[in-house]
Amino acid sequence: MTKRSAQAGQGGAVRIACINMATVDLGVPFDKLTAALQACYDQFFVPVWGYPVTLYNTTKPKPGEWQFYYLDTADEAGALGYHDLTKDGQPISKVFVKTTLAAKELVSVTACHELFEMAIDPLANLWAENSDGKEYAYEMSDPCEEDTFLVNGIAMSNFVHPSWFEPFKHPPGTKFDHLGKLTKPFSMTKGGYVIVKQNGKVKEVFGSAAKAKRFAREDRRGHRSEFRKPHHQRA
C-alpha cells in the first residue's frame, strides 16, 4: 500500500524562492542554474509526477513561499539549521555547496536531487510498503543518484517514476526511472541507495559495497533523507 498526501500544486500554485548565500562558486551561474532546474522540472519531471512549481531567484522569500537555499556547509556559522520546514511551516531545501564540491559532486545535481524530493514529499514523511512488509522512503533520486543527464548543458539528477513505488508486476516496457536504468520496483543502481523501515527501524541499503564506502565518507547533514532518521530532533 502506498501512502500519499497533498503535495506541490495541490491547493494552489507553489512558488519556490531560490536564495544563494554560498561564498564559493556554484559551478554554474546562479541564473542559469535556476533556469536549467526549471526546464528540467517542466520538461521531464512534471509529465511523470505532476505538481508544477515555479522557481525564481531572490534575496528574501515572500510569505507563503517555499525556500531553496544554497549555503556553504551544514555547520556554517549563521546557517538556518537542519529543518525540513521553516518556522512558518513552509518546506525548505538546502544545498551545501562546499560539502558537495568536497565530495567531488556537482552542485547542479545536488540541487536537482533536492528539488525533486521536496516537490513530492515536502515533509519527508511518505513511505511505500512493499509486499514483504518493508517500507521504502519516498526519495525521488536516491535509488539512482549517481546517474545524470544534461539540460541546457547542465547536469541534472536521474529520478524514479511512480511505478518504482508500486509493489506489483508491471507490463513489459514500464519505466521505473527517467534514464531507464532500473528494471523493477524498489531496485537500485550500483551508485544508488534506499532508505528502508522495518519493525520501526530505519536503515540505508546500498546498491554496492563501493557505494556504501563512498556514502560513509560523505557529509549528509542537512540532506532531506536525514530527517527520516529516528534520532533526528527538530529544534
| E strand intervals along the chain | 14-20, 53-57, 66-71, 92-96, 127-129, 135-137, 148-151, 154-157, 193-198, 201-206
Give residue-wise pLDDT tens across range 30-51. Answer: 999 999 999 999 999 999 999 9
> Residue 136 pairs with which residues in a beta bridge?
128, 196
pLDDT band with cut points at 50, 70 and 90 for residue 155: very high
pLDDT band with cut points at 50, 70 and 90 for residue 12: low
pLDDT at 82: 45
Task: State what percent of residues in the chain have pLDDT above 90.
Answer: 66
pLDDT at 11: 57
The average confidence (pLDDT) of the chain is 86
Give residue-wise pLDDT tens across range 60-97. Answer: 999 889 999 999 987 655 443 444 667 777 888 889 89
**Residue linked to cell 559495497:** 209
Contact yes or no for 18/55 (Cβ under 8 A): yes
Contact yes or no for 141/193 (Cβ under 8 A): no
Cell readout for 26 is 556554484
pLDDT at 84: 63
User: Mean pLDDT over residues 100-109, rounded?
Assistant: 91
Contact yes or no for 162/48 (Cβ under 8 A): yes
pLDDT at 123: 82
Give residue-wise pLDDT tens across range 218-228. Answer: 777 666 666 66
User: Mean pLDDT over residues 201-224, rounded?
Assistant: 85
DSSP 8-state symbol, 61? P
Residue 234 pLDDT > 60: no
Radius of gyration of the chain (CA): 17
